[in-house]
Structure 1
Amino acid sequence: MTDLVFRPLVAGEENIFDSMPDPLPQVRKVGYADGLAGGGYTPERTWVALRAGRVVGRAAWVLPPGAIGAPWLERFDLDAEPEVGAELLRAAHETLGGRMSYYAAVPAHWRRQPDVLAVMRAPMAAARLAGLVERGERLRTTWSGTPLPASSGRYTFRAPVDVAEINALVARVAEPDVLTGAEMALAVAGVDLAADPLAWLKSPVGDWRIALDAGEPVGLVGTAGVACYPLMAYLGVLDEAVRSELIAEAVRVMTADGAREVVADVDAHKVAVLAELERTGFRQLRSRVVFEPATG
């Protein structure tokens, strides 16, 4: 690799980052210049691999201003062998203070798309060579106006009495079905969205809904219509049978406030949850494959 140079950018070099074409333009992302302007990206957390002056690898770690957590690798593109990408990551990690998470954004159903697989093969291999381990996958789904399924009439829904009622029900949910923005909550505020959603969500308590079966709570959902876009932030059920109708109720709450699109993130291994989201009219938009530093 004697003909390669690995280095961070300096102020004013955003054109160097953008000189490399986006290999997956179909995946929605914040532009690099916009990320710099907003403060999430910084030149010192942006590294490039140069071969004969041409960018053959680029890596940008992001951390929103004021966040208390660690940056994560948001953009990582490679037009070279995996070993080049691994060396780029190692050089950056050494300067930045250690290995950090990598969220590889890919289109929905990416494993069925040979062109996407060809793009992602090298950066994912590079991440593994640099000591990162694949820990799971998160799917982003969106609802955008599809008619909702009819209610069975079995369940009723109401707003919580108070914060204490929400916290009491959250404590009974072993593993929430939907957690949208969990990574951001942890990085920005150090909040575990699964255990303490109200520490992160700023929407009114009245935007939550509790599902009741014969008067007994069987699930709850928290929306965040005042965020950058309407999203189903938290969904937890005590009886799986209520899941579909609770999802539909959350959408009704947000559309009543004017939402035309609703976002929900779900772990890829939660097949039953994903099926219910799709039955309610949600469609997969993109995936994020999560790589974390290897332990030991």
Structure 2
Amino acid sequence: MTDLVIRPLVAGEENLFDSMPDPLPYLRQVAYADGLAGGGYRPETTWVALRAGRVVARAAWLLPPGAVGAPWLERFDLDAEPEVGAELLHAAHEALGGPVRYHAALPAHWRRRPEVLAVVRAPMAAARLAGLVERGERLRCSWTGTPLAASSGRYDFRPPVDPAEINELVARIAEPDVLTGVEIAQAVGGVDLATDPLAWLGEAAQGWRVASAAGEPVGLVGTAGDACYPLLAYLGLLDEAARPELLAEAVRVLAAGGAREVIADVDAHRVSVVAELERTGFRQLRARVLFAPADEG
């Protein structure tokens, strides 16, 4: 690797990042140029590895303006041996003050797609060589107008009385089913969406619904129709039997507001939740595998 040059970009050569062909062009993600325009990507936190003047590895760390956390690795592509990618990551980590999280974006059902595995094996191996450890996987799912099942009448749905009721129910829900944008909430706002969703979503209650059976709350959902896209921000249950109808009710709330697409994020290991999303008409858009520093819990 004696002919290898590893360095950050300097102002004025941002196009160098896009000179490397996109190895997964069908993966839905923010373009590098758009990230630059929005201020989340910066030349000094974008690194490349060049061999004979050609970009063979590229990595872009993201930190939106006003964020309170550390940047995270959002884009990492490698057209070389894993050792090249690891060398790039080591150099960048040193400049950043130490290893940081890497959210590896992957197409839906990537483990069952040989053409995708051929692309992603090298950067994932490089991340491991650089000391990052795989910590979990989250799926992004999308509903785009599939007809919803009619309500059985078993549950009543109503807006919460006030923010205090939302907080009280959140405190009773140990593990929410759906948390969309949980990584962004933590990195940008320092907010744990699972335990304090109102700190991220605001205290307006119109996008929330409480599901009740015989007058007792059995579930809670919070939607956001005016974010970057309509989404199910939070969905948690006190009775898992309410999951299908609460999901459908949440989508109805957004569709009534004009949404043609609804986004929901779920942990991949929550198999029953993923299955219910799919029965409701959601389809997987992509996965994100988290690699974190080895000393991070």
TM-score interval for Structure 1 and Structure 2 normalised by the shorter chain:
over 0.9
Q: Aligned partner of 1:189: which letter?
A: G
Contact 2:163 / 2:203 at 8 angstroms: preserved in 1? no
Q: Distance in 2 between matches of 1:31 and 1:13?
A: 16
Contact 2:148 / 2:280 at 8 angstroms: preserved in 1? yes
Residue 224 of structure 2 is matched in structure 1 by 224
Look up the SS of the partner of 1:205 in the other structure.
coil
Q: Distance in 2 between matches of 1:271 and 1:152?
A: 24
Residue 167 of structure 1 is matched in structure 2 by 167
Q: Aligned partner of 1:233: which letter?
A: A
The runs of at least 4 aligned residues of structure 1 exceeding 3 Å deviation read: none
Per-residue deviation at 1:244? 0.7
- The answer to whether structure 1 residue 213 and structure 2 residue 199 are counterparts is no
Q: Distance in 2 between matches of 1:232 and 1:245?
A: 14
- Which residues of 2 match residues 22-171 of structure 1 at below 5 A? 22-171=22-171
Contact 2:9 / 2:44 at 8 angstroms: preserved in 1? yes
- Which residues of 2 match residues 270-281 of structure 1 at below 5 A? 270-281=270-281
Q: Distance in 2 between matches of 1:21 and 1:202?
A: 40
- Which residues of 2 match residues 195-210 of structure 1 at below 5 A? 195-202=195-202, 204-210=204-210
CA RMSD of aligned residues (A): 0.9
Aligned residues: 296
Q: Aligned partner of 1:144: which letter?
A: T
Look up the SS of the partner of 1:120 in the other structure.
helix
Cα-to-partner distance string for 1:173-195 (whole Å, 9 max, x where unaligned): 00000000000000111000000
Q: Aligned partner of 1:202: which letter?
A: G
Per-residue deviation at 1:224? 0.6
Contact 1:36 / 1:42 at 8 angstroms: preserved in 2? yes
Q: Aligned partner of 1:271: which letter?
A: V
Look up the SS of the partner of 2:92 in the other structure.
helix
Q: Distance in 2 between matches of 1:35 and 1:264?
A: 22
Q: Distance in 2 between matches of 1:203 and 1:125?
A: 43
Contact 2:57 / 2:79 at 8 angstroms: preserved in 1? yes
Look up the SS of the partner of 2:201 in the other structure.
coil
Structure 1 residue ranges without an equivalent (≥5): none
Give the TM-score of the pair, scaled to structure 1.
0.99
Give the TM-score of the pair, scaled to structure 2.
0.98
Residue 295 of structure 1 is matched in structure 2 by 295
Structure 2 residue ranges without an equivalent (≥5): none
Contact 1:203 / 1:223 at 8 angstroms: preserved in 2? no
Q: Aligned partner of 2:83: which letter?
A: E
Q: Give the % identical residues.
A: 79
Residue 13 of structure 2 is matched in structure 1 by 13
Per-residue deviation at 1:203? 6.9
